[in-house]
Chains A and B, each alone.
Chain A
Amino acid sequence: MTAPAIGADGFRTCQSTGRQIHAAAEPLIKANAVVSIVTLLIGATAALLLVLTRWQAVHLLPAEWYYRLLGVHGMNMLIFFIIYFEMAVLWFASTVLLNARPAAPRFGWFNFGLMMLGTLMVQWTQWTGRADVLFTSYPPLKAHPVFYLGIILFAVGALGVTGQFFATITLAKREKRYEGSMPLVVYGAMTAAIIAVITLLHGALIYIPTFLWSLGLIETIDPQVYRMIWWGLGHSSQQINMAAMVAIWYMLGALTVGAVVLNEKVSRSAFVLYVLFISMASAHHLLVDPGFGPAWKITNTSYFMYMAVLASMIHGFTVPAGMELGQRLRGYTNGMFDWLIRAPWGDPGFSSLVLSVVVFGFVGGITGVTIGTEQINIIVHNTLRVPGHFHATVVSGTALAFMGATYYLIPLIFQRKVAFWGFAKLQPYLFSLGVLLLSMGMTFAGSFGVPRRHWDNSFQDAMFDVEMSPAVDLVLAIMGIGGVLAVIAAFGFIAIAVKSVFFGEPIGTITRGTPMVGVPHGLTHPPTHAADADARNEELHAPARGWMGPTPGTVILVAIFFVAFMTYYFTNWKLLAFLWRVG
């Protein structure tokens, strides 16, 4: 097979997947992905300096630069890196996965330009000390008006791309580029797009008056109203990530091991639960705020939010179970875990997928649900346990899934081989280990009362004495080592991406069945099912197999997850009982 040319209709056919890729969509995917990586570099550089400051034995930065870079880190990692990549995902899902042309690609460049302009404005104000207001920019802290305007322009551009996503899938349906329901991965991207609209509307609601306040046109901004609406942006933006991440899980499963969708109805229902309920997780940040009653807090963070937690647990089962069933249909049927042992662990797309699922679920998910409980939140709020939780979700979950997707985007979209292939195979493991140590270190430090967003853990200039357990130094060192490892792996990923995209070897001809340096296993060895897959499927679903059904390995893994979940949950209630004695 050789690289095909672009046809008169603007499409080229991907030699690996057979998909139709439109010439106007490809550069939009590339541009958003490249800027995403650049902002990752800025955010990761800040991360290194920050973790070497919170590691009390090193304590690198002066206070002013610690707080400044904390804002830089938050904006670049939680907004720019993630949302640029999501824009790439939206373009990819709506065009490549539907074999469709993009709606109004020139408008896409206009929106990209708005986002870029906004990004540059925010970077300028933050790096020059004109916006030392942290990521949350809570009033009465006030930044330079350009900071708020930059965020507004970025959000308007992102909202524009989201609108184009809806237009593109509507166009694809009208032009009969697909029949019936849209593919599940696109459905997941659509879920992310809907949550993005909810998120960006909240962003507009709060940043436009705050911008006017910074100009002196509005006298005050109510801090409680600000916090409530801002978190509709700040937390919901991370739910866009989660929906996009789950969509990528399904995609990587299919690409790497031929994963199947166990049940379309169940997986789509879970995505709809995200659409309806996940944005309410924003209320977690307000659980100790005095302005809201328990009914509002518990309804948002428990009754309704648990519907979204249910959705995550559904995906947490269906993704690995789909991989198991796919592997069994390919012939890996021995025992409980032959399908897992014989998976392509050297494929960075596959290892990223598995590590993303495991760390997201076991660390990020379990800690998130636990600390989001109103009673337990009182011993967690504003401690390092909170960033310990979200580094496991956003970094080891979302960012790692995005990295795994990049290892496939490089050959499929950029048509280049993945550079530094030997390191690329190790990178997901190093990154995941680093973030795991970082997250665990933060979680344990927070359990000892170490505050988050705090420059000096020794409180040396404070008006009061704070005695920390000696164990804090140990867990902060673990956090520091983990952080350094994670940043090294992130820098390695950036080097791989930059070298591949700008100086990489063209993909050329992919010879199926032969391993190739720089080409993921799923492309050289497409995971096709055995010729008698239907018969095998029937056999796997036979009632005689008992209650564990066709995916017994996943059932065991899920049982381990539930034991871990219950243990952590009840341990926290016990901790609460120790700290807050009643009677």
Chain B
Amino acid sequence: MDPSDPRAEERVPLMQRLFDNVWLLLVAGIVVMFVVYTGWGMWEILTLPAGTLP
């Protein structure tokens, strides 16, 4: 785009648009926590072999 084009001034960088997207951040925060901590943690507990008494 020609730098003299007024639309060039209005173009917001991609990262800024991502960082400004509240809903995207909300979903990303929930997904990362629920996958890496909660989901994986549940899987670890549920796949534990049952203990046997001596």
B20-A181 in contact (CB<8A): yes
Chain A residues 281 to 315 lying within 8 A of chain B, measured CB to CB, are: 282-283, 286, 291-293, 296, 299-300, 304
* Distance to closest chain A CB from B26 (angstroms): 5
Partner of B26, one of A197, A205, A229, A269: A197
- Which chain A residue shows the least CB distance to B27? A194
Residue A65 is within 8 A (CB to CB) of chain B in the complex: no
A272-B19 in contact (CB<8A): yes
What does the 1/0 interface line of B1-40 toward A look like (CB < 8 Å)? 0000000000000011001101001101110110011101
A228-B30 in contact (CB<8A): no
B37-A280 in contact (CB<8A): yes
- Which chain A residue shows the least CB distance to B28? A276
A291-B36 in contact (CB<8A): no
B29-A195 in contact (CB<8A): yes
A229-B38 in contact (CB<8A): yes
B30-A292 in contact (CB<8A): no
State A284–B48 Cα separation when bound (angstroms): 20
Chain B residue contacts of A170, Cβ below 8 A: 22
Residue A224 is within 8 A (CB to CB) of chain B in the complex: yes
Chain A contributes a number of interface residues (CB within 8 A of B) equal to: 39
A225-B42 in contact (CB<8A): yes
State A272–B28 Cα separation when bound (angstroms): 10
A277-B32 in contact (CB<8A): yes
A222-B45 in contact (CB<8A): yes
Partner of A291, one of B25, B26, B48: B48
* Distance to closest chain B CB from A560 (angstroms): 32
B44-A291 in contact (CB<8A): yes
Chain A residue contacts of B41, Cβ below 8 A: 228, 283, 286, 292, 296
Of B26, B32, B33, B44, chain A has the most CB atoms within 10 Å of the CB of B33
What does the 1/0 interface line of A261-277 toward B look like (CB < 8 Å)? 00001001100100111
B45-A224 in contact (CB<8A): yes
Residue A190 is within 8 A (CB to CB) of chain B in the complex: yes
State A205–B40 Cα separation when bound (angstroms): 16
Of A197, A198, A229, A283, chain B has the most CB atoms within 10 Å of the CB of A198
B25-A275 in contact (CB<8A): yes
State A195–B15 Cα separation when bound (angstroms): 21
- Which chain B residue shows the least CB distance to A191? B25
A228-B45 in contact (CB<8A): yes
State A228–B37 Cα separation when bound (angstroms): 9
State A269–B18 Cα separation when bound (angstroms): 11
Which are the 8 A-B pairs with shortest beta-carbon distances? A275-B29, A279-B33, A228-B41, A194-B29, A292-B44, A280-B37, A198-B33, A194-B26
Q: List 24 A-B contacts (CB under 8 A).
A: A166-B26, A195-B29, A197-B30, A198-B29, A198-B33, A201-B30, A228-B41, A228-B42, A229-B38, A232-B37, A236-B33, A265-B16, A272-B25, A275-B29, A276-B28, A276-B29, A279-B29, A280-B33, A283-B41, A291-B45, A292-B41, A292-B44, A296-B41, A299-B40
